[in-house]
Structure 1
Amino acid sequence: MSIRPVTEARRAMPTMEGAGVHLHRAFGFQDPSELDPFLLFDDFRNDRPEDYLRGFPWHPHRGIETITYVLAGSVEHGDSLGNTGTLGAGDVQWMTAGSGILHQEMPLGNARGQMHGFQLWGNLPSSLKMTAPRYQDVQGTEIPEMIDDDGTVVRVIVGEFWGRRGPVDGIAADPQYLDVSVPAGVKKTFRIDTYRRAFAYVFEGTAAFADASRPTGVLLEKEVMGQELNIRDMSGDRTLIRFGTGDEVTVQAGPDGVRFLLISGAPIEEPVAWHGPIVMNTQDELRQAMRDLQNGTFIKAAH
């Protein structure tokens, strides 16, 4: 077994998207090879309705897949294929844009005005860029949730973990998407296939991730299972942790415990031509997508 080194720990940055939604972006619109096959990750969390109610009106996507995971509040959605629905707390939607789709997402919040969710963009390989669009809407009750003996809770949104498989399938990036809660003071190790790129996103509490590349790092004051763990400084709310290669991630929860997403996927390693919500392989393909939008041929016939 080999611990994945922590290559970077950075805070998500505040930004605005859609018609004026305030959110925090952990990565996106920079180096697409950084976390290949993933392109962008947003944390939309707010308790001021005026900061999110204008939502994300009609906009196009082509060449990518998006996963929306709602923790609080709800999101109404509709698309050019005639699909409509509402995502509630705990629900997930995976949208394969493929050859092209127009859709909108309108956050509503809960009775206390709170809204919280995440959106992740996954790239599609060239062979699937123009595949037929599709949706997978999953209710929170369908997502497996396991509790370990030490109190660790894992929701398996996509992929397989601890012998359970998440309900979303057929995803090109072959991802694993876990929602993990580790109780205060508990040290936990999670296996990740070596060939995957991986990151964690901390959104509650604090934690330290073991780092094989820093054997002389800061030591925890508390011993865990009789062994001190060499760690980076504690990472808190809205922190992205990027990992290098290896086959396991070890985390030490802080004094109030920690909740984080642990996400990994198989890199595509293809050229990326990217403009806003459209991601292709070449500039010519990108220009064609723009022409399709202008002349009304962006939405392709079912195939």
Structure 2
Amino acid sequence: MAVLFSSIVAAQERGSSRSSFSAQALDLAPLGDLKSSVLVCDDFRVSGRPFPLHPHAGFVAATYVFPDSAGRLRSRDSLGNDIVVGAGGLVWTHAGSGIVHHETPADTGELHGLQLFVNLTSPNKSSAPKTMTLSGSEVPEWTNAAGDRVRVVVGCYEHLTSPMVPIEPFTLLDVELRRHLTFDHPQGHVTLIYVATGDLAVSSEGGARHLAQRQAIAMHGDGARLSFAADELAHLVVMSAPEIREPVLIDGPFIMSSAEQIAAARVRYRSGGMGQLPPS
């Protein structure tokens, strides 16, 4: 049993002149035909109001507020939700057939978080939209004697299970690594490892790789145990989900499996079928 390591990919800086906004955006294009459900992964810092109201359809827009964030996240949507989450919290917006959405910092402190776009299988692209949240205090934490810590934001780790249950399986772990820990890569999944800070060695029976700060690597293939090791404190995020072996068409805020689905999403949005969200 072994996993296959993909090419190492790096985060690229991007920003906005409309407010104080910067992000380390992973360039996932070099992963090629690897059918990862994670299509966007941005490690961002923001203050102000960088983005206008916008629709989503066909995927999940997830925003995880890192525990070191000084600011909180406000998330509003056309389902009537108006949510504020602070450090360590999560907003999981299952857009499905369509939702109008707006996220901004809730206060003056700089908001530091992880923005993910998670693809959905074709049947769930037409499912009813749903927004789920976790506060930081609701996220289970695993620790060991060496001081390694795993926040189980979504999914399971060791004996802990997150109360967040998405419509499709997903694992999101926020890890502070001082020495060593392992992760069981499930068969049929793609596991993406992103190193926010520090340096990391990743190994399995299929080989080993070294990752520097703001680099990531994806693993796929047979289920196997991955080992993570660090000489000094490293902060990493583990994301894992079943492969989605379907076409991926991206048209702005819509991610679908066919041109027909894209066209239908456009019609729903323009006709008000995704609901309305007044300006804040």
| TM-score after normalising by structure 1 | 0.81
Give CA deviations for 1:20-71 in whole Å, capped at 9, x if unaligned. 632121145787853522211111035xxxxx41232210000111221102
Gaps of 5+ in 1: 47-51, 215-230
Contact kept in structure 1, 2:97 and 2:265, CA below 8 Å: no
Contact kept in structure 1, 2:75 and 2:91, CA below 8 Å: no
Q: C-alpha displacement at 1:95, in angstroms?
A: 0.9
- Give the distance between the partners of 1:190 and 1:139, measured in 2 at CA: 24
- In structure 2, the partner of 1:227 is none
Give CA deviations for 1:167-190 in whole Å, capped at 9, x if unaligned. 110331x1111111111xx23322
- In structure 2, the partner of 1:87 is 85
SS at match of 2:52: strand
Relative to 1, partners in 2 of residues 1:77 and 1:155: Cα closer, same or farther, differing over 3 Å? same
State the Cα RMSD in Å.
Answer: 2.4
SS at match of 1:11: strand
- Pair 1:271 & 2:251 matched: no
- In structure 2, the partner of 1:219 is none
- Pair 1:64 & 2:64 matched: no
Contact kept in structure 2, 1:55 and 1:105, CA below 8 Å: no
- Pair 1:75 & 2:51 matched: no
- Give the distance between the partners of 2:65 and 2:86, measured in 1 at CA: 6
Contact kept in structure 1, 2:35 and 2:244, CA below 8 Å: no
**What is the number of equivalent residue pairs in this alignment?**
271
Please list, as runs of the form range in 1=range in 2, the aligned pairs for 1:259-298 lying within 5 A after superposition: 259-298=235-274
- In structure 2, the partner of 1:165 is 161
Identity of aligned residues (%): 30
- Give the distance between the partners of 1:208 and 1:170, measured in 2 at CA: 30
Q: 1:253 aligns with which of 200, 206, 230?
A: 230
| TM-score after normalising by structure 2 | 0.87
Which is further off, 235-244 or 191-200? 235-244
Gaps of 5+ in 2: none
AA aligned to 1:180 is V
- Give the distance between the partners of 1:133 and 1:32, measured in 2 at CA: 29
AA aligned to 1:252 is A
Please list, as runs of the form range in 1=range in 2, the aligned pairs for 1:135-174 lying within 5 A after superposition: 135-172=131-168, 174=169
- In structure 1, the partner of 2:129 is 133
Structure of larger gyration radius: 1
Relative to 1, partners in 2 of residues 1:270 and 1:232: Cα closer, same or farther, differing over 3 Å? closer
- Pair 1:14 & 2:10 matched: no
Q: C-alpha displacement at 1:92, in angstroms?
A: 0.8
Q: C-alpha displacement at 1:75, in angstroms?
A: 1.3
